[in-house]
Amino acid sequence: MSRQIPRRLPAATWFGVVGALLLAGFAVFAGQHAAAARGWIDGPSWLLETVAALEDREPSIWVSVGGIAAALLGVWFLIAAFTPGRRTHLPVEGRCDLWVSPRAVEALAADAAERSPGVLHGRGDVQRRRLRVSALLAPGADAGVVAISEAVGERITGLADLELSVQAKEGGR
Amino acid sequence: MRTLAIDRVGAALLGLVLLAAGAAVVDWRFDLVGAWDRLDTGLIRETVEADWFAWAAGGAAVVLAVVALWWLFARVPRPVESGVRLGFSGADRVDVDVRSIAPRLRESLEQSAPVDHVTSSRSRTGTGQLVLLRANVDPRADGESLRRAADDVAASVEAAFPDREVTVRILIDAPRRRGKRRTPRVH
């Protein structure tokens, strides 16, 4: 069974909204010229004023700032156009179409670590295919990394195929 | 909000237009390649002031406005029809209201899995509809119990819809009140 990966909306979706608003802005610009040229509205055509400004030797400071902003926005649009939406969940092997978010795996791992004897506080961190668990041990507690590792491994068995690493630090008295 | 295929193409085209416009202004300001000196502003003014250009601008405004509105509103999610048709023989025909199935699946998952706050949504697939169940995990849960519960839900849907008119997908998210516990546990 081919499964479509759950993803966030790609950035291009939001830029599509901005693009639609920009097109609407161009439409207003063109429409204002048509209306002003036909005498349907009072006031000068914005397009003619823009063309008149082109005859200046140098652009005004605001036009320069606008031009640089347009170039930067253009680069941002191009990056967004080719960036895929980020994966939100990890696949779970099995018969059903089950997906689990990295934050959920982190929560389970942190809880499993905290329930190990001698652990004061646990934290999980999923980065790509690796789960890193940090544990704060009670001072003088007879707690080991192996026990924490086993507890976390047992808890997430069958859920996510992640490389597990545990770091334990003894808390101060 | 839906993702449209045109979004990527449109964003790329607008990006190129904005980049070109910005580069033209920078060249105008700093005279990097001298394109501005070669620009015949008289010809541009003559064209813009021509009688036909006002009508062309009006036409362009209408087309741009229609495209902008379509681009803006085409992404609004369309409602998914409530029923799917089951395989039938002869004159018999059975339609199933999937809206009535989703609450049962939510309830089933909430009861059998260590999760809470189960929500559901529906989308069309090639063969019928997909019911998407989304839930927040209980931090005390373990992988095996989650998988077993999800398997049970999937098996019940498969048994009811062997031709895959309705399928189910389950997404497990982080606990809702993650990080609220400030006091470290002491054993």
The pLDDT tens digits for A107-136 are 999 999 999 888 889 999 999 889 999 999
Q: Which of A52, A81, A110 is the last residue of a domain?
A: A81
Whether residues A75 and A115 fall in one domain: no
Interatomic CA distance for residues B105 and B159, integer angstroms: 13
Asked if residues A91 and A3 have their Cβ atoms less than 8 Å apart, the reply is: yes
Mean pLDDT within B25-34: 84
pLDDT at residue B87, as a whole number: 67
Instruction: Among B2, B7, B72, B76, pick the best mutation site for testing chain A contact (most A Cβ within 10 A).
Output: B7
Q: How close is the nearest chain B Cα to the Cα of A123, in Å?
A: 10
- Cβ–Cβ gap A66/B146 under 8 Å: no
Q: A47 falls in which pLDDT band (50, 70, 90)?
A: very high
Name the pLDDT band for A76 (thresholds 50, 70, 90): very high
Last residue of a domain, one of A81, A113, A132: A81
Question: Is A2 among the domain residues?
Answer: no
Contact criterion met (CB < 8 Å) for A157 and B143? yes
Is the CB of A74 less than 8 angstroms away from the CB of B15?
yes
Looking at residue A57, its pLDDT comes to 78
Task: Output the average pLDDT for chain B.
Answer: 86
Residue B63: pLDDT band with limits 50, 70, 90: very high
CB contact under 8 A, B3 and A96: no
pLDDT at A52: 87
What dotted CATH number matches B83-173? 3.30.70.1350
Residue A20 lies in a domain: yes
Contacts of residue A73 in chain B, CB cutoff 8 Å? 15, 18, 22
Across the interface, whether the CB atoms of A106 and B174 are under 8 A apart is answered: yes
CATH number at residue A105: 3.30.300.30
A134: its two tokens: 């940090």
**Percent of chain A surpassing pLDDT 70:** 97
Same domain, A73 and A106: no
Say yes or no: A31 and A70 in one domain. Answer: yes
Question: Which residues make Cβ contacts (< 8 Å) with residue A168, sequence separation at least 6?
Answer: A119, A134, A135, A136, A137, A143, A144, A145, A148
User: Region B172-177: what's the mean pLDDT?
Assistant: 88
- A contacts of B168 (beta carbons < 8 Å): 96-97
Buried b (16+ CB within 10 A) or exposed e, B103-131: eebbebbbebbbbeebebebeeeeebbbb
Domain that holds residue A17: 11-81
Alpha-carbon distance values, B64 to A68, A155, B51 (Å) = 25, 56, 21
- Here the ipTM equals 0.76
* Structural domain total, chain A: 2
Residues of chain B with pLDDT > 90, as a percent, come to 47
pLDDT, position B68: 94
Residue B88: per-residue pLDDT = 62
A37 and A98 both lie in a single domain: no
User: Is pLDDT of B40 > 60?
Assistant: yes
Q: Which residue of B has its CA nearest to A39?
A: B54
For residues A37 and A103, what is the distance between their CA atoms, to the nearest angstrom? Answer: 59
For residue B182, is pLDDT > 70? Answer: no
Distances (CA, A) of B147 to A50, A164, B110, B155, B172: 64, 20, 13, 12, 11
Chain B residues touching residue A71 (CB < 8 angstroms): 18-19, 21-23, 25-26
Local confidence band at B180 (pLDDT 50, 70, 90 cut-offs)? low
For A152, residues 6+ apart whose C-beta sits below 8 A from its C-beta are A109, A112, A113, A124, A131, A133, A164, A166
Cβ-defined contact of B48 to A35 (cutoff 8 Å): no
pLDDT at A2 over 60: no
Long-range CB contact pairs, B104-111, < 8 A, 24+: B105/B131, B105/B133, B105/B153, B105/B157, B105/B168, B106/B133, B108/B152, B108/B153, B108/B156, B109/B133, B109/B135, B109/B149, B109/B150, B109/B153, B109/B170, B110/B135
A58 and A118 in a common domain: no
Distances (CA, A) of B44 to A53, A57, B66, B73: 12, 16, 27, 35
The residues of chain B that CATH labels 3.30.70.1350 are 83-173
Lowest average pLDDT, out of A15-29, B5-19, B102-116, B173-187, goes to B173-187
- Last residue in a domain, options A62, A81, A100: A81
Contact (CB<8Å) A78/B19:
yes
Residue A31 sits in the same domain as residue A52: yes
CA distance B100 to B91: 25
In a domain, A131, yes or no: yes
Question: Which DSSP symbol is given to A87?
Answer: B
Number of cross-chain residue pairs from A and B with Cβ atoms under 8 Å apart: 262
Answer whether residue A86 is part of any domain: no
In this structure, the answer to whether residues A165 and A105 fall within a common structural domain is yes
What's the mean pLDDT in B12-26?
Answer: 92
Q: Is the pLDDT of residue B36 over 80?
A: no
Residues of A in contact with B44 (CB under 8 A): 51, 54
* A141 within some domain: yes
- The C-alpha atoms of residue B20 and residue A14 are separated, in whole angstroms, by 22
- The answer to whether B61 contacts A48, with C-beta atoms less than 8 Å apart, is no
Radius of gyration of chain B (CA): 29
End-to-end CA distance of chain A: 55
Contacts of B29 in chain A (CB under 8 A): 58-59, 64, 67
Count CB neighbours of B80 within 10 A: 14
Best mutation target among A95, A159, A173 (most B Cβ atoms within 10 Å) is: A159
Among candidate residues B168, B59, B98, B29, the one with its CA nearest the CA of residue A98: B168
Contact B151 A95 (CB under 8 A): yes
Dihedral over Cα of B173, B177, B183, B187: its sign: negative
Q: Are residues A71 and A20 in the same domain?
A: yes
Take residue A12 and report the two structure tokens written for it.
């291009």
Residue A27 has pLDDT above 90, yes or no: yes
Going by the DSSP 8-state scheme, the letter that residue B177 receives in this structure is: T
Indicate if the pLDDT at residue B150 is higher than 60. yes
B-interface mutation test, from A22, A60, A95, A98, most B Cβ less than 10 A away: A98
The per-residue pLDDT for B187 is 55
In a domain, A3, yes or no: no
